[in-house]
Structure 1
Amino acid sequence: MTAPLYSIADILAATGGTTRLDPATRIDSVSIDSRELGPNALFVAIKGDRFDGHDFVETALTNGAVAALVSRGEGAQRIVVPDALEGMRDIARAARERSRAIVVGVTGSVGKTTTKEAIRVVFEAAGQTHASIKSFNNHWGVPLMLARFPEAAQFGVFEMGMSGPDEIRPLARLVRPHIAVITTIAPAHLEAFGSLDGIARAKAEIFAGLEAGGTAVLNADHPQLAVLLDEARAAGVANIVTYGEGRGVDWQITDVELLADRSFATIEHDGVRHALVLNVPGRHMIANATAALAVAHLAGIEAAVALRALAGFGAQPGRGQRTLLGPADKPLLLIDESYNANTASMTAALDVFAAQAAPGGRKMVILGDMLELGPQSGSLHASLASAVVASGAERIYLVGKEMAALAAALGPTRVAGHTQGAADMADIVLDDLAYGDAVMIKGSNGVGLAGIVDKIRKRFEGN
């Protein structure tokens, strides 16, 4: 039998809580969702924007949780603390304190989740690995992921996100990474910062949690590199590793070759050239994989092991995942980029789509608003026009009020349809799509384009 994640005694020691439970009771999982409970689960009743976990404690216990961490209520299976979310943070701190794993923190405007996944794949080829799931990267997601950190794990990789200043710093101090990766700086959440330099400084908050002697791994292919370097030095970061396509970086990307479904590149480091092959298309995917190569090297993993692992790496749902639906001789190609969007990721996705031929029909794009861009939103949306045209899309559908600026820039003859909401667009697109078409769907998560993705899957798969 594997070692328990915690005992009740461990939880009490970490949180200072009180309970009537047997201190020897075993805890093997931690959850904040009463519907998704692992074995011997501890349910944490955090209060969110829409729901209060305390309303679901009885459901969680009925569904099999062995204990609930709560800040109010009575019952034999409750552990009472002043604040349940802070209690979960206490558990996260205890999990990090006991760990002897090599820990990596990942942030950036674009590519956080994909880079985290690339690092995870490489780490898993070398030893027991624990990684953030989905995009659990905020004030509750990071402590939840840390609270699930097994003591025996050899590697840990955690994603950190933000929508405003002073959000990454406390997360980084929880994670305490040995290696801090910043993927790139782009106009995401621009309205909260006012400038790209402001975004860069907020991302650089990750250095506040970097362990003594730790290393910053920085994408060098953006104008805010100098800001990140200044912030790293100000934070006392002595070890800085850079990667990108520019000259003078530590891990240089050269000889890039992009096909419709694969990518090739040469990665040069310390005079040694490595052949990188990816099972996904895109220059940005090569950059994400190069970050993973650099991290693997710092973690003592041989390049051959990392390259072999990356060769099987695939895009994630909502982040470029490609699916063929329907008959093999004339399928519908669905490219799901529905999770996030800013000008950098939108341009990158359109660039990849430009190299993609339709299986036997037309090329179509469904583009949703890029949210939280502030006063520059109109001009930033309009700036996508050339990339949209260059993508070769024969049918262009736009969703959201901010996309009015792109619609104007493209002109009425190019835009097949424009709606304010995703629900209104779904039926329009479903009536137009046919087997043989290639369709790419991309927008900010808040626009709800994932609903269109789901409807396309249900309509076209299995026929």
Structure 2
Amino acid sequence: MTTPLWTSDAAVAATGGRATVPFTVNGVSIDTRTIAKGDLFVALKAARDGHDFVAQALEAGAGAALVSRIPEGLPADAPLLLVDDVLKGLEDLGRAARARTKARVVGVTGSVGKTSTKEMLRTVLSGQGKVHAAEASYNNHWGVPLTLARMPADTDFAVIEIGMNHPGEIAPLSKMARPHAVIVTIVAPAHLEAFESIEGIAREKASITEGLEPKGVAILNGDLSTTHILVDAAMSVGARVKTFGESVGCHHRLLNLSIQDDITVAEARAWRTKVLFKVHAAGRHFAVNALSVIALCGEWKLDRAVALGDLAQWTPVKGRGARQPILMDPTDSRIAFELIDESYNANPASLGAALEVLSGAHPKNGMGRFNRGRKIAVVGDMRELGRTEAELHAGIAELPCVAQIDKIHCVGPLMRNLWQALPEGKRGFHADTSTEMATRMRGAIDAGDVVMVKGSLSMGLRHVVDALKKLGHPAAQPDQEDS
């Protein structure tokens, strides 16, 4: 018989609340659209009050609901856990779930690469034990406690992604997660509106070390101008420090790299010896972040051969570098273009990394009306960059990899700065919105092209991705988890 995730007695003990009737639940959900039978529905207040959806959640099969008041119209025997504050109740469940497990916990933060590194860790650690990891980008003030509250007691490894938009957000979440190890992928210009400087961002990212368990390890990017800030913070809490990157002084150092379409093969020095590894994605940044995963495996003394073998099975998820052929002629699989979907988010560092990947792509010649396959980017505004936003957008034109890209189409008022800075021959279309750009894709793409789409989530570049897919038929892909 499966052990329930939460009994009413355990949930009451964790939150100090009151159960209207005894219940057991096997999951925790905040969304009635995806709720599973037997979940605990958490009636958070966000854009709308979750209490308005309690009846719907129970009708859909929820085992109970976490509420701060009894919604009208519920039957007298409705299974409820009453607390003073729903978010605090969720946090209490998260802390209790963390306290009852013997799992080794790793916290991941960074301006770029949090989610891909989390998913690498999920893949690699799954070969060494039972893994619990955050879904999607559940890395904020409700996402972290939700991830913890969902963690089964018999978990062997937990991967907790921790993000921020403003100062003071990371440390409390790290203290809730109490990681045995933390990884900082990179510190880069992002959320500059709130922090004003890259040093301010580094200090916030470094605060993830404040939640480290005694004798914990901090695995830090060693290639940054702000690495010293990260190292100082880790040492101030007594953490062991291991660095990764391409610099000579890094404990885990990338030595050589080969990128072939959707495979990156790397040679590195790790565990004081040379290792060869690969990831099923194109990009130097993926290889560097994979080094942080390799470093953690070394620190936790996991099986090295199994870890490297499993790392090779990792692939990026939807919106974060996933590649897909789009068949333009259903009768001839050669008549196609390749779509690189990076539409989930963007900042200067991640856009630069994505453009570097595109610059190394291999279009196919002789397939379409242009006879020569092209490398094409569709890029949208990068948000929350503060006073230097215009300069940061225009500066993308100076990246060396741009020379290898044929056309760059720009979406949004900020991206007009890049459009104007580009050499005239590389300028594609400029549009104020993604829906407008989507209408212009039909004549802009041809068979043999490689097309990369990237922009901040709020820019809605998914409309462009959808329009590109409608130019043909996406080729069948293996099943892939989107979280």
**Under a length normalisation based on structure 1, what TM-score does the superposition of the two structures give?**
0.96
In the other structure, the counterpart of 2:277 is: 276
The answer on 1:381 being equivalent to 2:393 is: yes
Deviations along 1:196-246, one digit per CA (max 9) or x if unpaired, are 110000001111111111110001111100111122223x23311111111
- Equivalent residue in structure 1 for 2:335, among 305, 308, 330: 330
Judging changes above 3 Å, is the alpha-carbon distance between structure 1 residues 368 and 94 closer, same or farther for their aligned structure 2 residues?
Answer: same
Give per-residue Cα distances to partners, 1:69-118, cap 9 Å, x unaligned: 01112542221111111101110000000010000000011111111111
Aligned-partner SS, 1:284: helix
Q: What is the letter of the counterpart of residue 451 of structure 1?
A: H
**Secondary structure of 1:430's aligned partner:** coil
2:369 counterpart residue number: none
Pairwise CA distance, 1:339: 1.0
Say if 2:84 is the partner of 1:69: no
Q: In 2, Cα distance between the equivalents of 1:432 and 1:310?
A: 36
One of 24, 37, 40 as aligned partner of 1:26: 24
| Deviations 1:328-364 (CA, angstroms, capped at 9, x unpaired) | 2122200011111111111111111111022343321
Q: Deviations over 1:127-152 (max 9, x none)?
A: 10000111110011111111100101
Q: Conserved in 2, the CA contact under 8 Å of 1:71 and 1:80?
A: yes
Structure 1 residues 129-168: aligned runs within 5 Å: 129-168=131-170
Contact persistence 1:263–1:279 (CA under 8 A): yes
The equivalences for 1:185-200 within 5 A come to: 185-200=187-202
Q: Distance in 2 between matches of 1:267 and 1:303?
A: 14
Unaligned runs of 5+ in 2: 366-372, 476-483
Partner of 1:356: 361
* The one of 33, 36, 46 aligned to 1:35: 33
Contact 1:381 1:405 in 2 (8 A): yes
1:107-118 equivalences under 5 Å are 107-118=109-120
Partner of 1:405, secondary structure, is: helix
1:239 aligns with 240
CA distance in structure 1 between the partners assigned to 2:474 and 2:345 by the alignment:
28
Distance 1:71 1:296, change over 3 A: same
Kept in 2, the 8 Å contact 1:216–1:237? The answer is: no
Contact 2:336/2:448 (8 A) holds in 1? yes
CA separation in 2, counterparts of 1:114 and 1:214? 23
1:106 corresponds, among 97, 105, 108, to 108
Q: How far did residue 393 of structure 1 move?
A: 2.9
Moved more, 7-16 or 379-388: 379-388
1:55 aligns with 2:60: no
Residues 433 and 57 (structure 1 numbering): CA distance in 2 closer, same or farther, change over 3 Å?
A: same
Equivalent residues of 1:119, 1:295 under 8 A apart: no
- The 1-side partners of 2:474 and 2:211 are apart by 48
Residue 418 (structure 2) aligned to one of 396, 399, 406:
406
* Residues 359, 401 of structure 2: 8 Å contact kept: no
Alpha-carbon distance in structure 1 between the residues aligned to 2:395 and 2:139: 29
Counterpart position of 1:13: 13
For the Cα contact (< 8 Å) 1:119–1:296, is it kept in 2?
no
Amino acid at match of 1:351: E
One-letter amino acid of the structure 1 residue matched with residue 154 of structure 2: A
Specify which of 82, 86, 89 is matched with residue 88 of structure 2: 86
Q: Deviations over 1:28-48 (max 9, x none)?
A: 000000111123110000011
Q: Does 1:265 align with 2:266?
A: yes
RMSD over aligned CA atoms reads 1.5
Cα offsets for 1:351-381 (capped at 9, x unmatched): 1111102234332110001110001111111
Aligned counterparts of 2:253 and 2:407: Cα–Cα separation in 1: 37
CA distance in 1: counterparts of 2:474 and 2:215, whole angstroms: 53
Shift of 1:455: 2.9
User: Residues 253 and 266 of structure 1 are in contact (CA less than 8 Å); yes or no, is this contact kept in structure 2?
Assistant: yes
Q: How far has the Cα of 1:269 moved from its partner? A: 2.5
| Displacement after TM superposition at 1:388 (Å) | 7.7
Q: 2:436 aligns with which of 424, 440, 447?
A: 424
2:350 to 345, 353, 358: 345
CA distance in structure 1 between the aligned counterparts of 2:40 and 2:471, rounded to whole angstroms: 39
Q: Deviations over 1:139-198 (max 9, x none)?
A: 111111111001011000010000110011111011110001100110011111111110
8 A Cα contact 1:251 1:269, kept in partner: yes
| 257-266 vs 118-127, which moves further | 257-266
- Residue matched to 2:479: none
Structure 1 CA distance for aligned equivalents of residues 405 and 253 of structure 2: 32
How far residue 411 of structure 1 moved from its aligned partner, in angstroms, is 4.7
CA–CA distance in 2 between the matches of 1:458 and 1:96?
45
- Cα distance in 2 for partners of 1:255, 1:158 equals 30
* 8 Å CA contact 2:355, 2:401 repeated in 1: no
Stretch moving more, 381-390 or 305-314 = 381-390
User: CA contact under 8 A between 1:333 and 1:359: conserved in structure 2?
Assistant: no
- Preserved contact between residue 207 and residue 237 of structure 1 (Cα < 8 Å): no
Partner SS for 1:365: strand
For residue 426 of structure 1, report the CA deviation from its aligned partner. Answer: 0.6
Equivalent residues of 1:35, 1:63 under 8 A apart: no
Give 1:270 shift: 4.1
Question: Is the Cα–Cα contact under 8 Å of residues 184 and 219 in structure 2 kept in the other structure?
Answer: yes
Q: Which residue of 2 aligns with 1:221?
A: 223
Q: Does 1:253 align with 2:250?
A: no
Runs of 4+ in 1 over 6 A off after TM superposition: none
- Give, in angstroms, the shift of residue 450 of structure 1: 1.7
Give the corresponding residue for 1:395: 407
Aligned mates of 1:73, 1:431 — CA distance in 2? 56
Give the number of aligned pairs. 459
The 2-side partners of 1:435 and 1:20 are apart by 62
Structure 2 equivalent of residue 372 of structure 1: 384
